[in-house]
Amino acid sequence: MGSSTQSAFSLFVLSAALAGCASQGVQRSTAAPAGIPPPKLVVFMVVDGFPQEQVTKYYDQLSEGGLKRLIDRGAWFSNNHYSHATTYTGVGHATLLSCAHPYKHGVIGNDWLDKKTGARVYSTEDSRHTYLDEETPKHAGTSPFNMKVTTVGDELIYANGSSRVVTISGKDRSAIGLAGQLGTAYMHSPATGRFITSTYYMSDYPAWWKSYYESRPQDRYFGQMWTPLLPDESYARSAPDDRPWSTNYKGLGTKFPHPISGGAQTPSKGYYDAMLWTPYGDLLTLDFVKAAIEGENLGSNPAGVPDLLAISWTSHDYVHHLFGAESKQAHDHTLRLDRVFEDFFSYLDRRFGLDNVLITLSADHGFMNIPEYSASRRIDAGRIDPEKMIEAVNAHLWARFPSLDGKKVVTTWWNPTLYIDYKLVDGARLSRIDVEESAAAVLRDYPGVESVYTRNRLEAGQLPDTKMSRQVYLAWHQYLSGDIVVMNKPNWYLFAKPFGYAATHGSPWSYDTNVPLMMMGSRWVRPGKYANSEVVDLARTLAYVLNVRPPNGCEGRVLDEIVRTAPGR
């Protein structure tokens, strides 16, 4: 793993892991140092793009054995929030098991700009590694190199050397962010429909993986149609389908029923890609999860130590992007994902007994409603085009500083920041602060913009004493982030392509930050409804239960109000 250019951090983690692995042949004692022995298997679940409000909105239609089981028999924090402003997939997944904020873990977005080269950086790309047994697209996620901290899985392996950490997701950035430095990540390939990995993790697939894909299980859902699970009247609380602002993407259409063939005549790339944008993506994920549990023998570690399985369910996010969080499709997908969980929990119960498994659930971010839908309800909403915003800022700077006339001072946009060409500013012998403040002045009056933060003020800590300022500060990395942070007004869409999706996420508003936090495991967790928590508290609590040190960038607290410290207590 790694090369001569591997970071000092990664080399340290690797040497620590190898030191632990040297004792793998020795049977480790299963006795806990105090209190309750840790679980043999932790199932860490993430629903991509799952706002907290959907947990309660559809509660009466949930199955008894799925989400409702977690809510009623586990510990549920209903006022759980991300503390950072940049609620994107890569950021959330890097946060979830590291319990670190972006300014520490270094994953500041799904993408950002390398300030030295001017090139795009994808959050989990690493040119030294490629997809295993598949063509690797440009900017594909292949390693955790850009993560600067450890995760609970890393610390679990460091502690005993024998624990197995496996992560599975429809997105590479999700699986890799959860796997940390030492886990093994599997991510869905839209080219073949398989869950694949990269050369960072292994040089060849294990025998169980090869055997699993001999029968091409990814083809079993071809020809299916996504239809509503319940009668039409059951969706009265949601917006109807086939609205003019829904997005016809991947050949799925804008109303039920939705074909999942992707326009393909036989199982091929169009189908493999499209199906992940529907409930069939969850079924495909569940099939592979079961195969991984059995193939890796997770939860039955011969060394008697805990294993960690992390799963990120991707399709919910895609459904929201196409149809909005308020839609009939989002409603139906929540119910169908709930039935997938019911199937999965029943499987875990048969295999291990649920009392022997610790299950957690959260999300990488929430989701906004479609702006046009919000506007139809007399709420201020709209869409911001970043390219037009750049044009407006540059035009203002040309007028304010004639020596910059016609030059691209603000060069590009990567959510949610603008990048300034400081070499250009310095060459014109202008003050960087004057240019930043002048740009910020026009941005503060730009339609849909709530707040603006400049590099100088962020570096100097000169921020207003507001919650949003704290959110921005936790999300901004001095050496990686852009130069002017733009926060949109609530219900305003701010994304690279203003009409690429019907709805998006990424804001500091509660519909994006408020996500579920649930833990279920009767031996370790006191059931009940609890109030306040932060997402970073989940991994810190998990490390506590597992009797391992917290990840090195962790800023969460132990949720001691829910943790059992002795049998029956």
143-187 residue pLDDT tens = 999 999 999 999 999 999 999 999 999 999 999 999 999 999 999
DSSP letter, residue 146: T
DSSP letter, residue 131: B
- In this predicted structure, what is the pLDDT of residue 565? 83
| Closest by CA position to 242, among listed 227, 259, 256 | 256
- In this predicted structure, what is the pLDDT of residue 147? 98
Q: Cβ distance 248 to 221 under 8 Å?
A: no
- In this predicted structure, what is the pLDDT of residue 107? 98
- In this predicted structure, what is the pLDDT of residue 11? 37
Alpha-carbon gap, residue 25 to 233, rounded angstroms = 60
> What kind and span of H or E run contains 307?
strand 307-313
Alpha-carbon gap, residue 527 to 302, rounded angstroms = 30
Instruction: Tell me the two tokens of residue 79.
Output: 């006022």
- In this predicted structure, what is the pLDDT of residue 499? 87
- In this predicted structure, what is the pLDDT of residue 248? 87
- In this predicted structure, what is the pLDDT of residue 242? 86
- In this predicted structure, what is the pLDDT of residue 32? 61
Q: Cβ distance 326 to 239 under 8 Å?
A: yes
- The angle, 0 to 180 degrees and rounded to 10, between the axes of the packed helices 280-296 and 315-323 is 170
Alpha-carbon gap, residue 71 to 342, rounded angstroms = 13
- pLDDT under 70: residue ranges of the chain: 1-34, 566, 568-569
What separation in angstroms does the CA of 556 have from each of 2, 43, 80, 81, 533?
Answer: 30, 20, 12, 12, 9
Instruction: Let me know if 398 is exposed, middle or buried by CB neighbors in 10 A (0-12, 13-18, 19+).
Output: middle
